[in-house]
Homo-oligomer: A and B are copies of this chain.
Amino acid sequence: MHRRHILRGSTLAAATAPLAMPALAQPQAPALRWRLTSSYPTSLDAIHGAAHVFAKTVAELTEDRFQIRVFGPGEVVPALQALDAVQAGTVEACHTTASFYTGKNPAFAFATGVPFGLNTRQQSAWMVEGGGIELLNELFRQYNAYSLPLGATGAQMGGWFRKEIRGTEDLKGLKMRIAGLGGTVLSRVGGVPQQLAGGDIYPALERGTIDAVEWLGPYDDEKLGLNKVAPYYYYPAWWEGAANTSFVANLDQWNALPKAYQAAIRTACAEATTWMVGRYDTRNPDSLRRLLASGTQLRAFPREAMEACYREALALEQELAGKSPEYRKIHEAWSKSRDDMRAWFRVAELSFDNFLAQAAARR
């Protein structure tokens, strides 16, 4: 059936060749197995699941010759050591958040997204057609790694707060679980960023050891049950208005791949990214509805507090550019793209979105 249909096609090149003989002249890429360690809890089907979607696609594309096995955090490598394990060759690849590694170099943040940075589509455009992937791989190369975007979350929520935030004053002394450069910005307006492993967050917030927690968005936050221990749910996560998650491969292993396998990884990353964004975008609405029904109170961050954080974020960008040559180089290209796209998006894109948001609110 298969073969007959194909043979009927008048444009089939193979129809002119002897059928019984396999195409030995074309070297077939070899069977290969990789291990990929994920930094994300296996219970989170979107952010963890993206690696499985990706690996399944790579197998489909290569007629099962290239198999990538996905491991949860801690199975082979702890969540926050994924890049180190890839660099050392302990595993061939990982699925992780590049901004976990800003302690090595703050420029890693651009692979994820930075405070008050690009939105999801702008981040994608900058990566794919604005030179972002190439610029970032100059950085990853220093860690013997090659990276591509594999997944994105959309704009995240600002998180769960035990008390209302009425202005910048209420951020002073606020103990908040928040990672990366967002935490640095918070500390500059008087907040106290905390690093907590996933399992410690719920009890710390319940007991009041911390005052606030940022995680991701309604779909994942609901699974963690954070609504049970804090009443106020703030938006937006100005520190993660977009967040890409990253595929990272050991550079030697990447370079050794047949071109077709590199293409399989590249396209499977692109498809899984679209999938993950779509999964959050279609699942978040129902989760948010359930959270609100459970008593969660939705709050926008006060404009004045956003402004204060925005000023500090811009100042931090300048400081980091003075400290890290890699950050400076990427920031220069990135900020031109940011300014260009932000100006353009105000025209057609945002006027369309805002018209319909207002129309929907009236219905």
Residues of A within 8 A of B (CB): 1-6, 9, 11-14, 17, 22-24, 26, 28-35, 57, 60-65, 67, 92, 116, 119-122, 124-130, 154-158, 217-218, 235-238, 241, 252-253, 255-260, 263-264, 266-268, 270-271, 273-275, 277-279, 281-286, 288, 298, 300, 303, 306-307, 310, 337, 339-357, 359-361
Contacts and interface: CB of A to CB of B under 8 A. Distances in A.
Contact of A282 (B17, B129, B154): B129
30 contacts: A2-B258, A4-B256, A6-B32, A6-B257, A9-B32, A9-B253, A12-B30, A12-B32, A62-B260, A63-B258, A63-B259, A119-B356, A121-B154, A124-B274, A125-B278, A154-B349, A155-B349, A155-B353, A217-B348, A235-B347, A235-B351, A236-B348, A236-B349, A238-B355, A266-B271, A270-B271, A286-B340, A310-B359, A343-B360, A350-B353
B14 A348 contact: no
Given A277-B125, A343-B285, A350-B353, A35 B61 contact: no
A154 B28 CA distance: 39
Contact of A281 (B12, B13, B125): B125
A11 B35 contact: yes
Contact of A278 (B128, B256, B342, B349): B128
Contact of A63 (B4, B26, B268): B26
A360 B346 contact: yes
Contacts of A236: 347-349, 351-352, 355
B285 A341 contact: yes
Given A11-B92, A26-B64, A116-B356, 12 more contacts: A1-B256, A5-B256, A9-B253, A14-B31, A63-B258, A119-B356, A125-B278, A126-B278, A129-B281, A235-B347, A238-B355, A274-B274
A348 B239 CA distance: 12
